Amino acid sequence: PLACHALDAAAVAAHLLARVTSPALRERLLACDPDHERGFRSLLFIVALHDLGKATPAFQHKRPEARAPLRARGFDLERVKPQDRHHGDIGFWLLRDALKSRGSATSATKLARAVAAHHGEFPLDAGGPPESRQSGGAAWTHVRNEFVADLALLFDIRDALAPAVPNYDHAFVITLAGLTSVADWVGSMDQVFRYQAPPDSLTSYWALALDRAETALAHAGLRPAAPTNGTSFAALFPGYSPWPL
């Protein structure tokens, strides 16, 4: 389920931030908030929302056996067209609005663009917001809002998101895009993140996602760096001499 995959990616990001990334890179990312613990939770919340564009008619329509159950629950699937936008593209707009609703008005566009780029392209503003047909009717809007609210509760996002940071430079956006892409890639390893029936709550699944993320990172070979003190240039690069500089 989408909710499980969202937490899978966030769990991978949690381990990457806490254990794998270098201290300098970790500091760069956590600088999104003067309170680094709150910044850590904010980043997990944002990464978890990377696939919000999948909670739309066009994406859910891809699975034929899901169509009847969705229609029975009031989700409109009748106006899906082959040319409907990719979930990363439409997700950028949906995520931007979700972040704005959480008090991140000045930075919502940059943050949304960063995490929506997890398929290799940064969404552009050129196409404009999706038409209501593509984002879905009231049932779709309601379920997305409920999902965002549940994630905010899980990650304890009570105040405005990163309230003391009015802007983000390009380096931060690119770094966050990289973190999200790697978290999504590792979090999609189906040999580790096996199918899970819809959980009773996000909280009940979060602990399992963290355990699975640790296993997935080990399988992927992503582990903390172990620098060796006192190693000379000659020992690191046999046969070469350093430039005078």
pLDDT per residue rounded down to tens, the chain (245 residues): 999 999 999 999 999 999 999 888 999 899 888 888 988 999 999 999 999 999 988 888 888 998 999 999 999 888 777 666 677 778 888 999 898 887 777 788 888 999 998 888 888 775 667 667 677 889 999 999 999 999 999 999 876 665 445 557 888 999 999 999 999 999 999 999 999 898 889 999 999 999 999 999 999 999 887 777 778 888 888 999 888 88
Q: At what angle do helices 23-30 and 170-186 cross, to 10 degrees?
A: 110
Nearest residue to 123 via CA among 102, 101, 81, 93: 93
Q: CA triplet 156, 160, 165: central angle to 5 degrees?
A: 115
Nearest residue to 178 via CA among 2, 3, 21, 57: 21
Q: Which is it for the CA torsion 181, 183, 189, 195, positive or negative?
A: negative
d(CA 29, CA 33): 9
pTM exceeds 0.75 for this model: yes
The widest CA-to-CA distance across the chain, in whole angstroms, is: 73
